Structure 1
Amino acid sequence: MSDTQVFRIWIKAPAEKIWTAITDPAWNEKYAYAAPQFYELTKGGRYYSTANQGMKDYAAANGFDMPEIILDGEVLEADPPRRLVQTWRLLMDPSTAGEPFTTLTYEIEEAGPGVQRVTVTHDTPGAPATATVIRGSAKAGDESGGGWAWVLSDLKSLLETGKVMSDV
């Protein structure tokens, strides 16, 4: 199994709007796992995501702790609105939290009039639990483990229709 996973989707939206939806917590809390993500968009800047109330409630109801910070990392490169490279570590699960930081790259490229190709490349050497999580569940309807394919699909739905997949 490769340590590099690549996910690609085409979105009918300006590059700037996609960039904002990825990097602005007012936008990125609207889709996928609905947990706001915060970026300091300079080399060496902090990246983190906080648990939303639904995550906290689920953890409490199922008898486990949910950390306040569920993702962390560092911005390695920010070239708005085309390229973002960062480290990434999932802290919600002990198996992923104990692994090394992985490297996540977003690339937004013009693919035609008004259409952008969004590519997410996630390098996970030495992080097999993280690789499994980001690959996503193959089970239909399993929103708890949709991985990057599900996140990108939800981003596309939001930007093209104004609604996330659960609202469509």
Structure 2
Amino acid sequence: MAESRFVYVTYIRTTPEKLWQALLEPEFTRQYWAECWHDCAWKPGSPWKLMIPDGRVGDSGEVLEIDPPRKLVLSWQNEFKEELKPEGHSRLTYQLDPEGESVKLTVIHEMDQPKSKLIDAVSQGWPHILSSLKTLLETGESLVETRRWPEGL
């Protein structure tokens, strides 16, 4: 079991297919994730990058497991905050489970390191990003605060 872990569960009024698309496809992620997008072939073993709007790599890793539209597991290392890089790779899991007219989305971000600074940082960011994703899928618009990359980062 991981020493540091962040778990977030939300229910989104959508289909697993639409949620899967919103989680992975650049035209969606740019809308709710501060203009960031994924660069990945989405196959097991593929390198994965989360790209920042100015062209920097924000986070990187590898596709460890992919089962569309049910589960995605990535290794994840922060690349743009020097204080987080020494911790190495964490593990991100998206689990999608149909629940009537909704999809239960479970996000688990974990690391085998006690008191991880990375897990502390993502536990501050994930709730806002995932709330914006939910709002986008249910209303057609993301949360205003998550539409642009923060200045100075």
1:154 matched to 2:132: yes
Bigger Rg, which one: 1
1:124 matched to 2:105: no
Q: Note the C-alpha offset of 1:36.
A: 1.0
Aligned length: 143
1:134 alignment partner, one of 100, 112, 122: 122
Q: Note the C-alpha offset of 1:132.
A: 1.3
Note the residue ranges of structure 1 that are not aligned, 5 or more in a row: 54-66, 137-146
Q: 1:56-67 to 2 correspondence within 5 Å?
A: none
1:44 matched to 2:32: no
**TM-score, normalising length: structure 1:** 0.80
Counterparts of 2:28 and 2:49, CA distance in 1 = 15
CA offset digits 1:20-76 (Å, max 9, x no partner): 1111112111103221112221110111011114xxxxxxxxxxxxx7111101000
Q: 1:107-118 to 2 correspondence within 5 Å?
A: 107-112=95-100, 114-118=101-105
Counterparts of 2:70 and 2:18, CA distance in 1 = 11
1:106 alignment partner, one of 86, 94, 99: 94
Q: Note the C-alpha offset of 1:166.
A: 1.0
SS in 1 for 2:42: coil
RMSD over aligned Cα, in angstroms? Answer: 1.8
- Corresponding residue for residue 63 of structure 1: none
Counterparts of 1:33 and 1:135, CA distance in 2 = 16
- Corresponding residue for residue 18 of structure 1: 19
SS in 1 for 2:103: strand
1:72 matched to 2:60: yes
Identity, % of aligned positions: 28
Q: Note the C-alpha offset of 1:133.
A: 0.6
- Corresponding residue for residue 28 of structure 1: 29
SS in 2 for 1:95: coil
SS in 1 for 2:74: strand
- Corresponding residue for residue 165 of structure 1: 143
SS in 1 for 2:27: helix
